[in-house]
Structure 1
Amino acid sequence: MSNLLNKNPGSATALDIFHNHLNGSILVEVGKMKSLEFLTSGSNNISGPIPTTLGDLTKLKVLHLYSNQLSGPVPSELGNLKNLTDLALSGNQLSGSIPTVGRDLTELKSLYLHSNQLVGPSPNELGNLKNLNDLALSHNQLSGSIPTFVDDLTELKNLYLHFNQLAGPVPSDLTELKSLYLHSNQLSGLIPSELGNLEKLTDLALSDNQLSGLIPIVDVVLSYHELEGPILDNKAFTNASLEGNKGLCGNLTGFQPCERPSSHLIGKRRKLILIILLPVMGVLVLLCAFLGVLFMCDKRRRAKDVERWNDDSWLSISMLYGKALYRDILNATEEFDATF
């Protein structure tokens, strides 16, 4: 790269060095390549920060620095690249917050910042990216709620926000989306019924959140929540992932058929009765067993007392009659007098 810069740094329009074994840092001299429109150096071992001099490449349309070992913040100077249509910085070790570059990169169609160490909320300035088709911010440490600017991105087709720390509700006004990945966050509340009207939506992943309630009619990945209620017999659920929700029922394979409302109520009443009666009956059985044991012990004790009384009485009577006989003998012999 250094030889190319030394020869004629201002004439090249494309620098394509992706998928090699390049290491070291990005040379600040790259900023001197004023005619550069395509810079792709992804899938290498390039480390260090992104040089701020890249902001001088005002003709740049494509900037790919993905799958390297870049660190530090995303330089705000990238906001000077007003002709940029494709920015890919994913698969690095970039940190800090997402810069407010969206207010200037109005031509941007793809923004890939996933698989980094970015924190904080997404800046509202990204709502100025009116031409954005793909927004990938997954596998970071982003917090806050799902950014409200998503509703303003009318050209947005694919939104990837999974594996973050996002909280709050799922947005409802996402009419143009084809793919929506929100799984592995901390989202809560109900799933908007408006999602069932998204005719263009083909992939929806909401698993591993804290969602509750009923689900709309849409092909979804909604495994391991607390969802309940019937699943309508709709072809949209043919490839749905709904495992781990104990309260769901329906005519689809793998689900128990839904009961009629009357039998459902009867079943609930029976279940309530059993919940109440079983502990009571258990207590009564234990009480009867305890009383039976006490009765048997008392019976045995009484039997032993009677037996002991009989033995003592015989001894007392024997002793009583023995004393009387001895007394008679003494009187008859005048107390064993020798002259008698």
Structure 2
Amino acid sequence: MGRKLKHFPILLLLLLSCYLAAAARIRSPSDAGAIADLARSLSRPPSTWTAAGGGDVCSFKGITCSDVGRVTAIDLAGEGLAGTLPSSLSNLTNLVSLQLHGNALTGAIPPLRLSSLTDLSLEGNSFTSLPVDFPRGTPALRSLTMDNLPLPPWPFPAAIFECPYLRTFSASNTSLTGAFPAAGIVSNLKSIATLRLAHNNLTGVIPEVLGQIVSLGEISLSYNHFQGPVPVFHISVAVDDMVAGNGFCLDKPGQPCDSQVSALLEVAGGFGYPVNLSRSWTGNDPCNGWVGVECDISEVAILGLTSYNLSGIISPAIADLTGLTTLNLANNHLTGEIPDGLAGLPKLTLVDVRNNRLTGKLPKFKESVDVLVDGNDPSLRSQHGQGSLTGGSSSSKSSSAGTILGIVLGVLVFCKDN
């Protein structure tokens, strides 16, 4: 009897452990509730699921749980699912993998604040919107695939730079639009191995440094609006036909552009590489139909981009267009200062930057240059240097001269009559 009592505490401890393990398996109502919400939001949930959330969710098809009953993976790829995703998915705080590709899911992708999530697969569905800060809240993310989604135009997601372990980002044919942040990719995604962004509306010049990412093994950038030289990648990197569908100046990787093309592309970079310029400013001859550009023989003489909805700054590279006679950037949203180098252009006769948001000190233009600055920050006018500073029209100088001549003639006539 004493021997049995001696082992009783051990048996009690084992029973208590079993009880605690069993209790732990069912003590996450937030996980069960999230899966129940997902079941209700699907028009055709898997047959083993119950919309009411009854039973053990860890036994549902496509659900994987940890030893303590927390949902760690959802794999519903290619299940023919329709419906939407509930916002309560963010309650699955132990979720590591969410595989939803190859279905017909619609609506908005909800915010996924899941610090443990490493794999997210959304491609081939019919989602129509993303959170504005997507994919913020997923710092452990290693793979994000979301190709072929019918999204409205959206910018490259800056929040992805908060995912330092990311190795795969695949978002081809998703309406990505705007400047391609190559510098941010190089600086923040040091583990990136696969980058697929083909068939979008990305713009800009791809810097050489992108091809120097050691971890990179595959890249796809065809059918966007890239300009400048074709980038060079290491022989070990699988590269798609990058020239196809883009506007590089030449077809050979690494071959530099014409100097005027390079200068104009830097100017476009100051504006954030807008799509309306990227679609037109292609090839290696700016005198061959580039919008807003007029040439004198083979030299860029006029840059006229009035009312083009431009934002950003006037790049100092504008001073590299040594044959420029006219610069017209009126009625845009430009900020910053007018580059000093602009005043040194030998053939310049007109600078029209009316109705922008420019500030700072006006460069010291020559007297022969008409400078129109109305509609900018008042400081621009009050700090002007030399040059012919006019308001609404370049004809104001001739009007003033005519007024003075009229006064002189009137005085002479008056003196003669008396």
Classify the TM-score, shorter chain.
0.5 to 0.7
Q: Please state how far the C-alpha of 1:152 moved relative to its aligned partner.
A: 4.6
Q: Unaligned regions of 5+ residues in structure 1, if any?
A: 195-209, 213-340
Q: Please state how far the C-alpha of 1:65 moved relative to its aligned partner.
A: 0.6
Match of 2:380 in 1: none
- Give the one of 65, 87, 111 matched to 2:169: 111
Kept after mapping to 2: 8 A contact 1:12/1:35:
yes
Change (3 A) 1:89 1:147: farther
Q: Please state how far the C-alpha of 1:117 moved relative to its aligned partner.
A: 1.1
Taking only aligned residues, the RMSD between alpha carbons, in angstroms, comes to 2.7
Kept after mapping to 2: 8 A contact 1:69/1:92:
yes
Q: Does 1:17 align with 2:76?
A: yes
Q: Please state how far the C-alpha of 1:50 moved relative to its aligned partner.
A: 1.4
Change (3 A) 1:149 1:100: farther
Q: Please state how far the C-alpha of 1:176 moved relative to its aligned partner.
A: 4.5
Q: Please state how far the C-alpha of 1:112 moved relative to its aligned partner.
A: 0.5
Q: Does 1:85 align with 2:142?
A: yes
Q: After superposition, what is the alpha-carbon deviation per residue over 1:223-256, rounded to whole angstroms, capped at 9, x for unaligned?
A: xxxxxxxxxxxxxxxxxxxxxxxxxxxxxxxxxx
Match of 2:248 in 1: 187
Which of 1 and 2 has greater Rg?
A: 1
Q: Does 1:45 align with 2:104?
A: yes
TM-score normalized with structure 1 length: 0.52
Secondary structure in 1 aligned to 2:88? Answer: helix
Kept after mapping to 2: 8 A contact 1:146/1:168:
yes
Separation in structure 2 between the aligned mates of residue 166 and residue 73 of structure 1, nearest angstrom: 25
Kept after mapping to 2: 8 A contact 1:136/1:161:
yes
Separation in structure 1 between the aligned mates of residue 231 and residue 137 of structure 2, nearest angstrom: 31
One-letter amino acid matched to 2:75:
D
Change (3 A) 1:152 1:100: farther
Structure 1 segments of 4+ aligned residues over 6 angstroms from their partners = 7-10
Kept after mapping to 1: 8 A contact 2:134/2:160:
no
Q: Does 1:163 align with 2:223?
A: yes
TM-score normalized with structure 2 length: 0.43
Q: After superposition, what is the alpha-carbon deviation per residue over 1:64-109, rounded to whole angstroms, capped at 9, x for unaligned?
A: 0110011224642413211111101111022311111242111111
Q: Does 1:57 align with 2:122?
A: no
Separation in structure 2 between the aligned mates of residue 177 and residue 103 of structure 1, nearest angstrom: 22
Separation in structure 2 between the aligned mates of residue 85 and residue 105 of structure 1, nearest angstrom: 8
Change (3 A) 1:145 1:74: farther
Change (3 A) 1:72 1:193: closer
Separation in structure 2 between the aligned mates of residue 34 and residue 110 of structure 1, nearest angstrom: 22
Q: After superposition, what is the alpha-carbon deviation per residue over 1:172-197, rounded to whole angstroms, capped at 9, x for unaligned?
A: 35465233431221111251369xxx
Change (3 A) 1:173 1:74: farther
Secondary structure in 1 aligned to 2:74? Answer: strand
Once the two structures are overlaid, the 10-residue window that deviates more, 103-112 or 140-149, is 140-149
Q: Does 1:35 align with 2:35?
A: no
Superposition pairs for residues 309-324 of structure 1, below 5 Å?
none
The alignment covers a number of residue pairs equal to: 196
Give identity over the alignment, percent. 24
Q: Does 1:96 align with 2:154?
A: yes
Match of 1:130 in 2: 190
Secondary structure in 1 aligned to 2:185? Answer: helix
Change (3 A) 1:162 1:32: same
Q: Unaligned regions of 5+ residues in structure 2, if any?
A: 1-34, 40-48, 59-68, 256-281, 285-418
Separation in structure 2 between the aligned mates of residue 96 and residue 120 of structure 1, nearest angstrom: 8
Separation in structure 2 between the aligned mates of residue 147 and residue 71 of structure 1, nearest angstrom: 32
Secondary structure in 2 aligned to 1:43? Answer: coil
Change (3 A) 1:64 1:91: same
Separation in structure 2 between the aligned mates of residue 147 and residue 37 of structure 1, nearest angstrom: 34
Secondary structure in 1 aligned to 2:120? Answer: strand
Separation in structure 1 between the aligned mates of residue 207 and residue 237 of structure 2, nearest angstrom: 15
Separation in structure 2 between the aligned mates of residue 17 and residue 190 of structure 1, nearest angstrom: 43
Change (3 A) 1:69 1:156: same
Separation in structure 1 between the aligned mates of residue 84 and residue 124 of structure 2, nearest angstrom: 14
Task: Tell me which protein shows more helix as a share of its residues.
Answer: 1
